[in-house]
Structure 1
Amino acid sequence: MSLIVNPFDRSDLFLETKHHAIVAEAISRADGEKPFKRYIDAWWLALCIGVRKDHRVKLSGDTTKFNDGGIFSSDPWRIIHLQLLGLSWLGSTALDHPTQIIQLSSEYVNGGIEWIVDTIHGQPNRTLAIYNRISEFESS
């Protein structure tokens, strides 16, 4: 079994404070009407949406730390994906700058989190709301 080194383990992960509480309401390990089991799952979906829409928004000064990069070790594929994104954003030296990769990722997350918040706000079944709206990202 090969091991993947986590270069992001000392990086803090943040959400805008205004979004943190809304995301918290969409997290449950057992409720099928809540789409996320962990904050990192919401963060990751927001990252994917931000990248897909090519929408980056710098974090304001009003943020809430929800975890650190050590969480990526529980899903090593996320480490590889972040490194690949870093290479596409920063070029061949990206792997030497994990902090910069997390910073850019956080900006894409912040660009995608609005989509999640808009989608789940006021919805009784937030999971279904996301499934119904995700089709807007399908390529034609």
Structure 2
Amino acid sequence: MNNPFAGSDIMIPDDFREHFDSFVQKKEGKSAQPIHQPFGRNIDMWFFAICLAVKKGLTPTTHAGKSYKAAEGVVLNADPWRPTALTLLAIGETGDVSIVDRPGEMLRIASGYAMAGLPELLTLLNEREGDTALDYLSESIEGMLRTKKAA
């Protein structure tokens, strides 16, 4: 499948910028390790938030405040299954297969799930106490995968 999002930007509210800077591998030095920064790229954290929102049955939300470009849609090409997953999410959300002809609308749906999932993700990462971000996140995911989706 081609990437219908290649010409789009992934926008994230400025309110989350500091968190992306903390948990995405951008820093240098001792803290620039996957155990402290479990996400390799902004798109990975954004996509994880989408998955978390879907798994938890969260309602997509919108953000009207100031945003910044966290990634270009073309970065989704690095993992060819991601555009397919986002397309299927949009079809499932709308029940309308013709949405595949409206990449902007599909990205809006995905971003709504990301906005719903980011606070949940940050709560997980901030609950970790003495664990590293990667360890706690891995254990949390393992637990979620053993349980059914919330009703």
State the TM-score, normalizing by the size of structure 2: 0.81
1:50 and 2:53 aligned = yes
State the TM-score, normalizing by the size of structure 1: 0.87
1:15 and 2:17 aligned = no
Moved over 3 A (4+): none
**What does the per-residue CA deviation read over 1:46-83, in whole Å, with 9 as the maximum and x for residues that have no partner?**
00011122321112322221112111111111011111
Q: CA 1:81 to 1:128, structure 2 compared with 1: closer, same or farther past 3 Å? A: same
Deviates further, 21-30 or 76-85: 21-30
Q: Percent identity?
A: 23
SS of match in other structure, 1:13 = strand
User: What is the total number of aligned residue pairs between the two structures?
Assistant: 137
- Counterpart pick for 1:127 among 124, 127, 134: 134
User: Which residues of structure 2 form unaligned runs of 5+?
Assistant: 27-31
- Counterpart pick for 2:101 among 96, 99, 108: 96
- Counterpart pick for 2:69 among 57, 65, 68: 65
Write the letter of the residue equivalent to 2:39: F
